[in-house]
Structure 1
Amino acid sequence: MHRTDAIATLKSGIRLEYVVAAPDDTKSVKETLPLARAGLRVVAPSYRGAGNSSADAQTGHDKFTLARDIYELLTTTLALDSFVVLYRARHWLDGRNGVCPGTSLYRKSTTDPEMILGRTFHFALHQSRGLGEILTEGKEDVYLKHFYERLSYNPTFLSHADLAYYFSTFRRAGKMAAGFEVYRSFEQDHREMLEVVKKQGKLPTSLPVLSTGGQESSFTKPLGEAMKELAENVTATGGIPHAGHWIAEENPHVFVEEVLGFLKKQQMVQSPSQDKSTLPPS
């Protein structure tokens, strides 16, 4: 199910689409419903360029700016004072089961011939300004379908309705370009992340990080090690079975179970037998 609950206009003028699923929401999509039933208020935003969010700028797709957008949405528009960030991207070609700028794994992905010619061939294509747009114009469906299938465990993991939604979204003016801009900012992201860690240190122990991915993805194990370069308290798992790059779509039930298990262990949510009225907002 794909729906737009609201559009927030940020101070910058950027418009962000977001969907909210509450514990009593029976219309949530398959990934948010179990989280909502666990007592969480789930906010699913589309970052700038994705979904129905603004896609009219070549700047602002670096990850610190995207994070500030989401932070403003959560703290100003929705007035939340505490929340858990669960990062994954549904509307573009990137899931978090991949390389993270600011780590040695990211640099390897841009220098190792085995990765450049295989698993991360798209980095060069997506980062070459204008080339991706020229090659995919009028062929968005072909390119996206190839990309989704290539990085999946089960190539048929998306329904015809899902594919139709994504195809129609990316045919709209500026959408493919916005997606490519996310990749074009990676080198900036890498430099900025390294500088932040150098000056401020890693994320402290008080901010626990879950690193997971699909068991069939070659990125999952090295990603867990790479995240330790950015955070002090990292829990790396063996990964989600029967899933490749697109873990939340390929195996949503196990993915949600793993996330909830981590949150309960960190005492960020309560067990189902406890009073859900005491749960923190998310």
Structure 2
Amino acid sequence: MMRLLRNTFHGFGRTFWLIIAGLAMIAASPPSARAEPPQDKFATVNGVKLHYLSAGQGDAIVLLHGYAETSRMWRPLIERLADKHLVIAPDLRGFGSSDAPPDGYTKAALARDVHALLQSLKIDRVKIVGHDIGLMVAYAYAAQYPAEVERIALMDAFLPGVGDWTRVWLLRDLWHFHFYGKTPLALVSGRERIYFEHFWNDFAADPTKSVPEADRKFYAEAYAQPGHMAAGFEVFRAFEQDAADFAGFAKTPLTRPMLVLSGEKASGEVLITQAKLVASHVDGVVITGAGHWLMEEAPDQVIPKLVEFLDR
């Protein structure tokens, strides 16, 4: 009997400690491993149906994608943020699974779409992040709704109308800023993947570390939808109006904390210099060895910096 009790107790104790060890492993696992994947949602605002990704609970963080991508680009960051925050990543008007009307592509107008989306969700305080075209929309959002923005992060591109912005706008290698209208649309129709390969490869420090193949296929198909290539071209056509709008916005500098991340082989110090002309509390970081596609080329540098900034 005593031997039976000893064996039973020994077996129970072993099971108990296995359970404790398992619970400890779960508790120690990174939040991203436990985060639920984002949900695909839709809302109609300003007469346009917008698609957005939503994950988590807590204070709201808005992530705005750029050209040649969609909200999909943010999935690795969403995984890191959703354990503490409500994360909203919309497809801007004309992009991804959102509607693509013929107009409304100034960055101020796109920011108003995002604001209307957040209002529909009863969100009136946000931290906002934008990459490429998305950074222009993020800045336009903060400039139009400064009391509603707690923090803002801008990632690799430039601000039309701020400082010596035409040096970027008129660069020969950035010819796509002036590539819009019926003829360009006819040229790229059915060749969307070929067109975007130029951006994904030539704007990366190393094309093999740029946008991955699965994402390239997804984006090419998204932009091949009716009206979406035209919408992307309208984003560039609007730059002169954006410049006028931003010059006006810059007269009232932003006072909230701003993080600026630029690729060493892309925007470099240009965006950081511009940011200091429109905001009073700027932390500028050049991402070593990276080109334009910061999330894809340097996630180990970029994601921790964004998480640390947004967790404050």
For residues 211 and 243 of structure 1, the distance between their equivalents in structure 2, rounded to whole angstroms, comes to 14
Shift of 1:4: 6.1
The answer as to 2:232 corresponding to 1:179 is: yes
The answer as to 2:200 corresponding to 1:139 is: no
Alignment of 1:252-263 (within 5 A): 252-263=299-310
Aligned residue among 116, 123, 135 for 1:80: 123
| 2:77 counterpart residue number | 31
The answer as to 2:233 corresponding to 1:233 is: no
Q: Which moved more, 1:184-193 or 1:153-162?
A: 153-162
Q: CA RMSD in A?
A: 2.4
Shift of 1:174: 0.8
Checking the alignment, whether the CA contact within 8 Å between 2:38 and 2:78 is kept in structure 1 is no
Post-superposition CA distance 1:127-185 (Å, at most 9, x none):
x4223212211211111112211101221322221111111111111111111111110
Tell me the amino acid that sits aligned with residue 18 of structure 1. Answer: Y
Alignment of 1:200-279 (within 5 A): 201-203=252-254, 205=255, 207-217=256-266, 219-237=267-285, 239-264=286-311, 269=312
Question: Which segments of 5 or more consecutive residues in structure 1 lack a partner in the other structure?
Answer: 270-282
For residues 195 and 189 of structure 1, the distance between their equivalents in structure 2, rounded to whole angstroms, comes to 10
Secondary structure of the 2:42 match is strand
Aligned residue among 87, 95, 100 for 1:42: 87
More helix by share: 2
> How many equivalent residue pairs?
242
More strand by share: 2
Give the TM-score taking structure 1 as reference length.
0.78
Tell me the amino acid that sits aligned with residue 53 of structure 1. Answer: S
Shift of 1:196: 2.9
Give the TM-score taking structure 2 as reference length.
0.71
For residues 89 and 177 of structure 2, the distance between their equivalents in structure 1, rounded to whole angstroms, comes to 26
For residues 54 and 3 of structure 1, the distance between their equivalents in structure 2, rounded to whole angstroms, comes to 20
Larger RCO: Structure 1 or Structure 2 (Cα < 8 Å, ≥ 6 residues apart)? Answer: 1
Shift of 1:40: 1.6
Bigger Rg over Cα:
2
For residues 78 and 212 of structure 1, the distance between their equivalents in structure 2, rounded to whole angstroms, comes to 29
Question: Which segments of 5 or more consecutive residues in structure 2 lack a partner in the other structure?
Answer: 1-36, 59-73, 138-153
Checking the alignment, whether the CA contact within 8 Å between 1:153 and 1:216 is kept in structure 2 is yes
Post-superposition CA distance 1:236-255 (Å, at most 9, x none):
11x22342101112222321
For residues 196 and 89 of structure 1, the distance between their equivalents in structure 2, rounded to whole angstroms, comes to 19
For residues 163 and 269 of structure 2, the distance between their equivalents in structure 1, rounded to whole angstroms, comes to 14
